[in-house]
Structure 1
Amino acid sequence: MDLEAFIQANLPVEAVPGVPEVRLHRAGPRSGLMRLADADPDFGSPYWARCWGGGLALARHVLDHPRSVAGKRVLDLGAGSGLVAIAAMKAGAAQAQAVDVDLYAVAATRLNAQANEVVVEARLADLTQGAPPADIDLMLVGDLFYDVDLARSILPFLERCVAAGVAVLIGDPWRASLPTERLTVVARYPVADFGDPGGVLRDAAVFSLLA
């Protein structure tokens, strides 16, 4: 199956709730994502086809506070749809990388960047076991603390980034595995997190990771 053709045909480009400056290929009830699952035994959760609370808060923040990213080289870690990287480019970032471990997320990010007429380098990689990238100024992390084991692998990597002089901003709707004792709240936003009942908003925040 041609993945990009499937996304273009079945996931319409729509404005993002709360972040209308960005438009994404988003799944709906008739998108037929199960066809991807049936065609690929390694198909995982299609988080890249939805909008999540932490990413919404982080995207809203960089657009409302463009000085946070202006002229900087940013990396959207666990990028999913690429929402945060795209928002950063629209806010004036010098360049943006969007990195994910899911090839479907990488394909969706490429298409979403094209739909928003911005340049984002989308690539498939797991960066968390290595040294901090030397070519970025700011790490943007949305919705990566939903699982305790994932949080335990993500946090040491982000701490290495801070120690190397890379700033870290995290967007999250206060999930249980969030290491709040290591974070400072920068801003708070009401967001519609995926899976919540329609129209219900929850509190999400943007955090900086303490040195």
Structure 2
Amino acid sequence: MSAPALSDFVLANTTLTPVPLVPEVLLHSAVEAMDLWELTDHDQPPFWAFPWAGGQALARHLLDHPGLVRDKKVFDLASGSGLVAIAAALAGADSVTANDIDPLSLTAVRLNASANGVSVTPLPGDQLDSDAQGADVVLAGDVFYDAEITALMLPFLTRAAARGALVLLGDPDRAHLPRDRFVRYGRYEVPVPLTLESTETRNATVWRI
């Protein structure tokens, strides 16, 4: 799809609404995941169309502790809707890059950043072999949802921490989270879409490598 067609698709299938745990942020969000997933014809669910629990927890944490990102260069991995990236920008980050491999996600990031009056730079493509553009802070919300993805994400995040970046993760107790590698920063009870999580709330933790 062309860029205008991608924007039209996102706008036609979402409504701009406050994020439950982070009402300071508005997102173009969908109601029914399965119906939208069929329309996208993608292998993966439309991660860009919902405020996932791990991302909500991490976004809340950044807004409550803005010193973590204030005046820093920030890289948001697997950005989805851009929720975490937008929270970092609202918390005073000097620059924020939102990376995702899905063009619909990057379109949602642009629309959501504009709706919240912040500047976020969408970055396409697989960046897992990169150094996260030398960012001071690397963020990832809800990226440990299966074993294969965890195996891909973890080396990238570990390298960033090893070179001195602050690496923060938001995770709602996914089975593949390697807890022994992280230090817990905070824990939140997060409202979530019943159709996605089969429950109305999930506990989510913010971790640091």
Q: State whether TM-score is above 0.5.
A: yes
Q: Give runs of ≥4 in structure 1 deviating > 6 Å.
A: none
For the 8 Å contact 2:37–2:46, the answer to whether it is kept is: no
For the 8 Å contact 2:37–2:45, the answer to whether it is kept is: no
Other structure's SS at 1:19 match: coil
Q: In the TM superposition, what is the alpha-carbon distance from 1:136 to its structure 2 partner?
A: 1.0
Distance change in 2, residues 1:34/1:125 (3 Å): closer
Name whichever of 108-117 and 41-50 sits farther off. 41-50
Quick one: which amino acid aligns to residue 22 of structure 2?
V
* Partner Cα separation in structure 1 for residue 19 and residue 83 of structure 2: 9
Quick one: which amino acid aligns to residue 79 of structure 2?
A
Matches within 5 A, 1:120-135: 120-128=120-128, 130-135=129-134
Quick one: which amino acid aligns to residue 154 of structure 1?
M
* Partner Cα separation in structure 1 for residue 144 and residue 163 of structure 2: 22
Give aligned-pair identity as a percent.
45
Q: In the TM superposition, what is the alpha-carbon distance from 1:168 to its structure 2 partner?
A: 0.3
* Partner Cα separation in structure 1 for residue 34 and residue 180 of structure 2: 40
Quick one: which amino acid aligns to residue 14 of structure 2?
L
Unpaired stretches in structure 1, ≥5 consecutive residues: none
Quick one: which amino acid aligns to residue 23 of structure 1?
L
Name whichever of 104-113 and 5-14 sits farther off. 5-14
Q: In the TM superposition, what is the alpha-carbon distance from 1:203 to its structure 2 partner?
A: 1.3
Unpaired stretches in structure 2, ≥5 consecutive residues: none
- Does 2:7 match 1:7? no
More helix by share: 2
- Does 2:76 match 1:76? yes
Structure 2 equivalent of residue 174 of structure 1? 173
**CA RMSD, Structure 1 to Structure 2 (Å):** 1.9
TM-score by length of 1: 0.90
Quick one: which amino acid aligns to residue 11 of structure 2?
Q
Quick one: which amino acid aligns to residue 105 of structure 1?
S
TM-score by length of 2: 0.91
* Partner Cα separation in structure 1 for residue 157 and residue 33 of structure 2: 38
Q: In the TM superposition, what is the alpha-carbon distance from 1:83 to its structure 2 partner?
A: 0.1
Matches within 5 A, 1:8-23: 8-23=11-26
For the 8 Å contact 1:25–1:108, the answer to whether it is kept is: yes
Q: In the TM superposition, what is the alpha-carbon distance from 1:196 to its structure 2 partner?
A: 2.9
Distance change in 2, residues 1:53/1:30 (3 Å): closer
